Amino acid sequence: MLAWAAGRTAGGALSAEVAETEPHLRAALERHGLTCTDGGPFMVGLGRSLVDLPDAPPLPDGYRIRAQQTRAEVAGRAAAHRAAFGSTRVTTERHARMRQIWPYRAEFDLVVASPAGDVAAYCQGWYDAALGTGVFEPVGTHPEHRRRGLARAVCLAVLRAFAAAGGRRAVVQCRGDAEYPVPKRLYESLGFTPYTRTHAYA
């Protein structure tokens, strides 16, 4: 893979990120002359058992959690993602197409609807029945609805959906450095603990 990448960089520098739990990949990078360049942003892998989940927190009046039911909610889910991340990448059409592709299951892609019916927050889960493991990707809250406990509530609802499907474990990746601490704090409040982190090589 390194040889393939080197042949397509026109002499530019190669870089890669690998998990701490992948020592064989770190060794391969070092054999090819790359060195660890930690010091900037990095990702952390967090996991937790699906046993003894926290109690569901109460939602503010008028908010409710559910799977997307209408075309308007699919559009609202895409709009909430764009607002949460300041990105134009997830359009209504792109999100609708993704919902048609295996292994997507609507019961693991939950939204928090506001009193006005807008999508205020969401947690998209992916579930691997063979491993009994669910993963969050992505999670977001519209800026107009933050600091109301919505992300925590919808994440917990997806954890419960994983457990109801027979799952044993949930995992998520997020920034682990101090420059972007909020997502990690959210997941730790739900009982997630670190099991790995990434290292940068160049």
Could you list the mean pLDDT of each consecutive 10-residue stretch along the chain, which spans 202 residues?
Answer: 80 87 95 93 98 94 95 95 96 97 96 97 98 98 97 98 98 97 97 98 94
What's the confidence (pLDDT) of residue 11? 67
What is the per-residue pLDDT for 130? 97
How would you list the strands of the sheet with 193-201, edge to edge?
Answer: 16-19, 193-201, 43-49, 169-175, 133-141, 119-128, 109-113, 64-67
Query: Is 30 within 8 Å of 18 (Cβ atoms)?
Result: no
Domain with residues 52-167, CATH architecture: 3-Layer(aba) Sandwich (3.40)
Q: What pLDDT, on the 0 to 100 scale, is given for residue 1?
A: 84
Domain segments of the chain: what residues?
2-41, 52-167
The pLDDT of residue 115: 97
